[in-house]
Amino acid sequence: MPVEIWLHFILGFMIIGAIAALEIKDVLSAIIAVGIVGLGLSVAFLFLQAPDLALVQFVFEILCMIILIRAFTHRKEHKIDLKSNVVLVAIAVVILSVVFVLGIFAFKELPSFGKPIARIAERYLTKGPQETGSANIVTSIILDYRAYDTLGEITVLFTSILGAFTILRVIGRKQRR
């Protein structure tokens, strides 16, 4: 079967998982339904010839589910039975469907699936192995051509982990005195 049919199947699966994650009452079931979306995305990356991304997405999804399950499922007193405002839901559905219809016109202007523009990538693909010495061209972009981008990524990641650690620390400054 061609790639497009597999991708349609996986994307439909992901959409069903996303809707289920947003509508299920139970917290653990909702988090696992998001896991469906993430692992489906990992399979989609494999079909789209991005093996590095599939591995990273897989690890990310498992870590994300561990964090969310550890953080939210042990609170027995919490039940999701919150009803959303009906007027708000109606307004949101109308606006989002208008955005979807406008999106149809916008996506017509893009190059069709399977024919990328790839203007910058031609240089990376032809000269990358000689200039960087790396067989994996994605790695040569991350660590050589766009190394400052990766430095910024590490900075953002470090800052967010530092923020989470600061928020979650047990002993505040007042209690220590």
Partner 1 sequence: MTLYLMTFFLFLVGLYGATTKRDIIKIILAIGIMGYSVNLFLILIAYRSGAIYPILTKSLGKELMVDPLPQALVLTAIVIELGITALLASLAIRIFEKYKTFDITQVRRLKG
Answer yes or no whether residue 43 interacts with partner 1 by CB under 8 A.
Answer: no
- Does 82 bind partner 1 (CB under 8 A)? Our answer is yes
Shortest Cβ 70–partner 1 spacing (Å): 9
Assign 151 to helix, strand or coil.
helix
Q: List all residues 6 or more positions away from 43 whose beta carbon is below 8 Å from its beta carbon.
A: 10, 54
- Residues 86-125 as x/- pattern, contact with partner 1 by CB under 8 A: --xx--xx--x--xx--xx--xx-xxxxxxx-x-xx--xx
151 near partner 1, judged by CB under 8 A: no
41 makes contact with partner 1 (CB under 8 A): yes
Q: At what angle do helices 27-47 and 3-23 cross, to 10 degrees?
A: 170
Q: Which two tokens stand for residue 78?
A: 């919490």
Cα–Cα distance for residue pair 120/90, rounded to 1 Å: 44
> Judged by CB under 8 A, does residue 44 bind partner 1?
yes
The pair phi, psi for residue 110, each rounded to 5°, is -75, 155
Per CB under 8 A, 62 contacts partner 1: no
One of 29, 51, 94, 131 touching partner 1 (CB under 8 A): 51
